[in-house]
Amino acid sequence: MFDPYKVREDFPILKQKINNHPLIYFDNAATTQKPRQVIEAVKEFYERYNANVHRAVHTLSHEATSLYESAHEEVAKFINAKNIEEIIFVRGTTEAINFVAYSWGLRNLNREDEVLLTLMEHHSNIVPWEILSKINGFKVKYVDVNSDGTLNYESLEDSLSRKTKIVSVTHVSNVTGCINDVKRIIKTAHEYGALVLVDGAQSVPHMPVDVKDLDVDFLAFSGHKMLAPTGIGVLYGKRELLEKMEPFHGGGEMIRNVSFDTATGRCLISWNDPPWKFEAGTPNISGGVGLMAAIKYLKSLGMENIFSHECELSEYALQRLQECHKVSFYGPKGRSTRCGIIPFNVEGFDSHDVALFLDSFGITIRSGFHCAQPLHQRLNLPSSARVSFYLYNTREEIDRFIEVLKEMEQL
């Protein structure tokens, strides 16, 4: 049985008070708290194994390298990738998307091509493509969303053509919690010969994601949104694509050989094999170790259990929010299309005022645009307050949140 009260025991930060009230942490879409298992794994790495990886012949370096490579293996198993050659460690989702844009897009997208995004993307899945389109001259197109925040699949099919070279789409909206049917999107896009990048920042931490089952070409996600430290994230890419791609960053350890050619006066370079070909310079070794510990922790609880717990919390919160007469909330209805993220507004208050009021009671939420301004524009929202749940949240916390919102309605 999944027991959030037992889970909470592992999270030291949840025991503290904020503004003299017990902390209720509802800002999990921004970043998640860390269990002691992750904190201890990072501490143990620095106390016992710290050395640079893939360089020295000494024992400590072998141990650090072995841990760092095991972290890639753990990630590969977690998302059912073929092997670690398909797993590149990056700083997070943002870097992973920029990686694909520059490493693949820069060389493969031309003036007559199109890149297809949706209006529900996080800015990190819009800005890199818009920047690159100014360099390469391709067109960026946006699939529409419906007024309930779900993706408009008709608009998707209308927008796809043989000109579409890549569809880059979020799996779960970080604003509405809407779950996109990425399997359907991938199948349709492949029929047009387009690749698909899935932004898994809000899905991989919360539900089972299987890259083989989805047949996805690239998958991006961030460790810090799934209990791991900040500064570590993952780009999954199909081996056959990665093999053909040039590195995004150049530097040490990503090369097999660099030799000075006296005839031309230049250096001749040959690349290392994936994934190391793509990990230039000293990587975030302790971050990788922390990510491995986070995945082991998530697996010990079961991703299906975590997902159902969050869906139940979301359903409960949506039901209780109906008692708040000055509160409007948005997003899809129904369990199969929505997970534990709820955007809302309180009549007469700016979203930041709502967040500050809740914070004075120890309730931590996000306010503003959540880095998804086009979606707010499309849904006619000036901004929004947002609660987002994770494995350690409870119904009692939602009860307290509703109680405080009701107090706010009295102001």
Ligand X SMILES: Cc1ncc(COP(=O)(O)O)c(C=O)c1O
- Site residues (CB under 6 A) for ligand X? 29-30, 92-94, 122, 124-125, 170, 174, 199, 201-202, 222
At position 165, the amino acid (one-letter code) is K
Q: At closest approach, how far in Å is the CB of 92 from ligand X?
A: 3
Q: What three-state secondary structure class fits 267?
A: strand
Q: Give dist(CA 376, CA 330) in Å, integer.
A: 11
At position 343, the amino acid (one-letter code) is P
Q: At closest approach, how far in Å is the CB of 396 from ligand X?
A: 26
* Structural element, H or E, at residue 64: helix 59-78
Q: Give dist(CA 182, CA 81) in Å, integer.
A: 17
Rank residues 199 and 397 by Cβ distance to ligand X and give the closer one. 199
Rank residues 167 and 405 by Cβ distance to ligand X and give the closer one. 167
Rank residues 94 and 337 by Cβ distance to ligand X and give the closer one. 94
Torsion of CA 396, 399, 404, 407, to 10 degrees: -140
Q: At closest approach, how far in Å is the CB of 94 from ligand X?
A: 3
Rank residues 30 and 140 by Cβ distance to ligand X and give the closer one. 30
List 178, 311, 324, 371, catalytic entry? 371
Q: Give dist(CA 173, CA 177) in Å, integer.
A: 5
Q: At closest approach, how far in Å is the CB of 170 from ligand X?
A: 5
Say whether 371 is catalytic.
Answer: yes
Rank residues 103 and 174 by Cβ distance to ligand X and give the closer one. 174
Residues in CB range of 341: below 8 A, 6 or more apart: 29, 172, 173, 174, 175, 176, 177, 202, 314, 331, 386, 387, 388, 389
- Strands (DSSP E) along 33-132, which ranges? 87-90, 114-118
Q: Give dist(CA 8, CA 385) in Å, integer.
A: 25
Residues in CB range of 300: below 8 A, 6 or more apart: none
Rank residues 202 and 384 by Cβ distance to ligand X and give the closer one. 202
Radius of gyration of the chain (CA): 22
Torsion of CA 144, 145, 151, 157, to 10 degrees: -20
Angle between helices 303-321 and 285-301 (to 10 degrees): 80
The tokens for 266 are 């230049």
Q: At closest approach, how far in Å is the CB of 175 from ligand X?
A: 9
Rank residues 204 and 408 by Cβ distance to ligand X and give the closer one. 204
Q: At closest approach, how far in Å is the CB of 7 from ligand X?
A: 22
Q: At closest approach, how far in Å is the CB of 174 from ligand X?
A: 3
Residues tagged active-site = 371
